[in-house]
Structure 1
């Protein structure tokens, strides 16, 4: 298949806000692409080369820009092969070899293909929400239920692999994917509830647990082999020795546990979130020793050869208590006084509570209504779209942040507001250094960036507004912290923001 066909499909996606239209564009392309190029085409269209990040930035590509080809001639395979050569080129002379391959590739590309390659290789095409549209497109192209594709994707961890299986073997091939100990799956996500009473009324029989201000972890153990993964499925086993030792001591042979971890003060209260997250990036031995992490597990997805994803939460909780013992998160099933649990959680320094249906299966990677989070303050996870230069004491610093919510139709994030409140001097200095490395454009007042950073904001609520394209605006928003543990696809959607307006 010509690379031009993939680029044209991408342009069609950008030209419409309709999820239905986006699905149709992708389904038509998937039906036409040869089997040998399917996985590569899916990877390109969801914004990431099959090789992953290849270490090429905008500045390097700009220096290699060549006059474009007048006619499309590159194939999908040729582009993938060239990127593979760049990715595999290491050692002495590698910079020159990488430059030669990229220059040749760009010279063979048309102007629109060059622009697509620039955006693909610099991460500007990555839109996590587009993965959901691709799932629907795969289902439409093969005439299988979207849930079958979604489940296979969450268990395989690879959308290109899932697409290849669906196109070659339909539902039967998709059904072959299962939980594999040692291969992380996307975590189940929660939706916000306005109040505890609302959550209890919606879900029926529930468990009410503490909602911690920690870092999400997923641990896998088979025998003595243990892996610890973050929310974004990054393997951090080497950095959290105390967690691997603890999991290795649990009374089982194999297990997959979902939970949170956080650092505690000497009084047993949670340390600031940033201190917990520092452990996942630290290579300093003294920091690894000084800041110990405590795990709190709240779900069991596999135990001693039995997969529990499809079992109801009440059954998974029985397995959890059996294997995790004192390391189970504080909470109670069908509590007589749910409000007392919320009060205790807040008194202990935590965010609030989670209310979970005891009849629910584990919906990997989904933000549904089976898990509801109840917090006394409104918060949203939003994507940074840009920042304005500050004034007065903040002159010379990038200050006022432009904030966007995720478009569930797979389009770019939708701006919902701005804020400069809550930014410490440390954060101002950090984002002034960091944001220009992600720059896509600028004017006299603002630096616009790729939508890669997630920031958590506290707000009084939202209001109707014609100022922003989503029709809503944040009220009195202030920055709480950046969320390095979250991908843009984990941020709140425009639908979640609008739901706060209805509330």
Structure 2
């Protein structure tokens, strides 16, 4: 298949607003891919490269050769060229990478160059998110969409699911299951404004977990091999040897655990989240543990134990098995409540211990991989949202030379883009200002001397006092008194809060 056909499909999907029409366009392109092109082609249609790291940054994409007049590149040829670029290393690597990149872009037409720039830059905004492409895979392969979605959530690999569905069908999809060592998309939680609202969603009796101020971890062990993954499925095993050691010491053969890890002070209380987060950061290619306090793991769910998958078991069964398999020191604080009063007491105790709040859970619910349902509901003591930074303004006065004022966006699930909600520079310490200046220089796609537009990748947790109507912004709403709590390096932009969640918070009283 010509790469130009992928570029044409991408452009058509971008220009199409209807979900069904997008799915049909994507499905038609998937049907036309050769079997050996499916992995790369499905990735391109999802706005991704098959190779996660290529060494190609924004600066490399500024001075490109003139486009080719005729389309000659195939999907396979583009994939092979990018694979060669991705493995360049050592002395002279920059020059060699530029040479290979120039050859690829020189063979591409103008439309193909536009798609390549978007893929390398992570800037393809065509509304073809993983969920939409899952529906297209089901349509193209003529298999149930539920089978595709479950396989995708269990494997965490859209490319593998596409190849399996389109070459081997529904029976092969059903064989995709939890594999120890392969991370799966974690179950997520809804938010509630208070304990009462959370219990209305879960019902009673309910299980209340302490919501730790740490990073989400998923730990896989097979015999002596241990792997640790973040909520975005990044492998951080070499960065958290203390977590590896704790799980390797358990008296089990195979296990998959869901939990959190955090840095503690001398009193056993959580240290600032940024200290915990820095230990898990994978940016920059480093693999050794960074300087900083050790992380202590705590686990709240058990997904697999010694050959038995527990995903579809009720929570009470999973949690009982977890308590049997792990020492109490590795378990998240947990209790059963039967009333709002008991839930409120658990919430108050969690806050007094310096934690974020509580997670209220329905004990009969299975582990709903990758889903955000009402079976798990988080309660924090204030309004907070995880938003995406869309642009940053250069500071002035004492902040001159630093990127300061953040432009904040909520995710729009209908378009795959982001809706701006306002700006803030509140809550930024000098340390955060230094950090974010370097970070947003890495993500910059344009700088007019005042505002630096960035790739929408960095998630930031924002506290605010309420939501108000605002004609200034496309979503019609803005946040009142927004301030930065922390950066979420553990969370991808695809999991940021949506504009619908913002509007559901409603207007402040009075």
Residue 268 of structure 1 corresponds to 268
Q: Name the residue aligned to 2:77.
A: 78
The answer (yes or no) to whether the contact 2:239–2:290 under 8 Å persists in 1 is no
1:29: Cα distance to partner? Answer: 1.6
**CA drift at 1:118:** 1.4
How far 1:473 sits from its partner (Å)? 1.5
TM-fit CA distance, 1:278: 2.4
What is the TM-score of this pair, normalised by structure 2? Answer: 0.93
Query: For residues 310-325 of structure 1, what are the structure 2 equivalents within 5 Å?
Result: 310-325=312-327
Corresponding position of 2:98? 99
1:57 aligns with 2:60: no
Offset of 1:380 from its aligned partner? Answer: 0.6
- Corresponding residue for 2:311? 309
CA contact (8 A) 2:192 2:379 kept: yes
Q: 1:126 to 1:239 in 2, by over 3 A?
A: farther
Deviation for aligned residue 1:17:
4.3
Root-mean-square deviation (Å): 2.2
Distance in 1, Cα, partners of 2:356 & 2:309: 31
Corresponding residue SS for 1:332: strand
* CA shift digits 1:107-162 (9 cap, x unpaired): 22111211211121122237998112111221232343333212111222210110
Aligned to 1:450: 455
Once residues 304 and 507 of structure 2 are traced to their aligned partners in structure 1, the CA distance between those partners, rounded to angstroms, is 39
Does 1:381 find its partner at 2:380?
Answer: no
Contact 1:189 1:368 in 2 (8 A): yes
Tell me how far 1:261 sits from its aligned partner: 1.1
**Is this contact kept in 1: 2:279–2:289, CA < 8 A?**
no
Contact 1:120–1:126 (CA<8 Å) still a contact in 2? no
Matched, 1:331 2:330: no
Distance (Å, rounded) in 1 between the aligned partners of 2:280 and 2:271:
15
Separation of aligned partners in 1, 2:404 and 2:289: 34
> Would you say the 8 A contact 1:46–1:126 is kept in 2?
no
Q: Structure 1's 177 and 389: CA in aligned 2 closer, same or farther, altered over 3 A?
A: same
Matches within 5 A, 1:224-243: 224-243=224-243
Task: Tell me the distance in 1 between the aligned counterparts of 2:57 and 2:469.
Answer: 39
Retained in 1: the 8 A contact 2:238–2:288?
Answer: no
Map of 1:168 onto structure 2: 167
**TM-score (structure 1 length as normaliser):** 0.94
2:38 counterpart residue number: 38
Task: Please list every run of 5 or more consecutive structure 2 residues that lacks an aligned counterpart in the other structure.
Answer: none
TM-aligned CA distance change 1:335 to 1:421, over 3 Å: same
* Contact map agreement 1:19 1:410 (CA 8 A) in 2: no
Task: Tell which deviates more after alignment, 427-436 or 76-85.
Answer: 427-436
Distance 1:315 1:405 in 2: 36
User: 2:414 pairs with 409, 413, 419, which one?
Assistant: 409
How far the C-alpha of 1:284 sits from its partner, in A, is 11
For 2:113 and 2:155, how far apart are their aligned partners in 1? 31
Alignment of 1:92-131 (within 5 A): 92-125=91-124, 130-131=129-130
What pairs with 1:387-402 in structure 2 (closer than 5 Å)? 387-402=392-407
Post-superposition offset of 1:305:
1.0
Question: Which of 276, 295, 303 is the aligned partner of 1:293?
Answer: 295
Name the residue aligned to 1:464: 469
> Take 2:275 and 2:91, find their aligned partners in 1: how far apart are those partners?
39
The separation in 2 between residues aligned to 1:24 and 1:153, in whole angstroms, is 19
Residue 486 of structure 1: aligned partner: 491
The CA distance in 2 between the partners of 1:287 and 1:86, in whole Å, is 28
Is residue 2:21 matched to residue 1:21? yes
Number of aligned pairs?
A: 501
Q: State the Cα deviation string for residues 275-304 of structure 1 (Å, max 9, x = none).
A: 11222249899976x722222110000011
Deviation at 1:178, TM superposition (A): 0.7
Distance 1:434-1:279 versus aligned 2 partners, 3 A rule: closer
Q: Aligned with 2:105: secondary structure?
A: helix
Separation (CA, whole Å) in 2 of partners of 1:139 and 1:24: 11
